[in-house]
A and B are shown apart, each in its own frame.
Chain A
Amino acid sequence: GESVGLHLPTLSVQEGDNSIINCAYSNSASDYFIWYKQESGKGPQFIIDIRSNMDKRQGQRVTVLLNKTVKHLSLQIAATQPGDSAVYFCAENLKAAGNKLTFGGGTRVLVKP
Chain B
Amino acid sequence: NAGVTQTPKFRILKIGQSMTLQCAQDMNHNYMYWYRQDPGMGLKLIYYSVGAGITDKGEVPNGYNVSRSTTEDFPLRLELAAPSQTSVYFCASSKTARNNQPQHFGDGTRLSIL
B25-73 contacts to A, CB under 8 A, are 31, 33, 40-45, 48, 50, 56, 58
The yes or no answer to A89 lying at the interface (CB within 8 A) is yes
- Given contacts A43-B90, A100-B48, are A95 and B97 in contact (CB under 8 A)? yes
Which of A60-68, A75-83, A103-111 lies at the binding interface? A103-111
B97: chain A residues within 8 A (beta carbon) = 95, 98-99
Q: How many A-B residue pairs have CB under 8 A?
A: 59
- Chain B residue at minimum C-beta to C-beta distance from A34: B102
Q: Identify B108's interface contact among A36, A43, A89, A93, CB under 8 A.
A: A43
Q: What class of interface size applies to chain B in its complex with A?
A: 20 to 34
How many chain A residues touch B (Cβ–Cβ < 8 Å)? Answer: 23
A31 engages B100 (CB within 8 Å): yes
The yes or no answer to A101 lying at the interface (CB within 8 A) is yes
A101 engages B50 (CB within 8 Å): no
B104 engages A99 (CB within 8 Å): no
The yes or no answer to A16 lying at the interface (CB within 8 A) is no
The yes or no answer to B18 lying at the interface (CB within 8 A) is no
- Given contacts A98-B50, A98-B97, are A46 and B102 in contact (CB under 8 A)? yes
> Which residues on A are within 8 Å of B, measured CB to CB?
31-32, 34, 36, 41-46, 49, 51, 89, 93, 95, 98-101, 103-106
Provide a sorted-by-A list of 15 A–B residue pairs whose CB atoms are within 8 angstroms: A41-B107, A46-B102, A46-B104, A51-B100, A89-B43, A95-B100, A99-B31, A100-B33, A100-B48, A101-B45, A101-B103, A103-B42, A103-B44, A105-B40, A105-B41
